[in-house]
């Protein structure tokens, strides 16, 4: 099994009363290549 190098669970962000992110989860394993 690969080692997890970054894990985010249930990230939430808002500006005042305006929610921007609600429940973002992300897991990045060692050796994985990500691009966008």
**Cβ pair 21, 11 in contact under 8 A:** yes
Tens of pLDDT along 6-34? 999 999 999 999 999 999 999 999 988 77
Q: Which band of pLDDT confidence, cut at 50, 70 and 90, is reported for residue 36?
A: confident
The C-alpha atoms of residue 8 and residue 13 are separated, in whole angstroms, by: 13
Q: How many helices (H) and strands (E) does the chain have?
A: 0, 2
- Residue 14 in tokens: 């808002």
Which pLDDT does position 32 carry in this prediction? Answer: 80
**Domain range annotation of the chain:** 1-29
pLDDT at 34: 75
The 8-class DSSP code of residue 3 comes to P
Asked if residue 21 lies in contact with residue 9, where contact means CB atoms within 8 angstroms, the answer is: no
């Amino acid at each position: 099994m690969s080692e997890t190098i970054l894990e985010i669970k249930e990230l939430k962000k808002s500006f005042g009363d305006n929610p921007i992110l609600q429940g973002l989860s992300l897991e990045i394993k060692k050796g994985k290549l990500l691009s966008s």
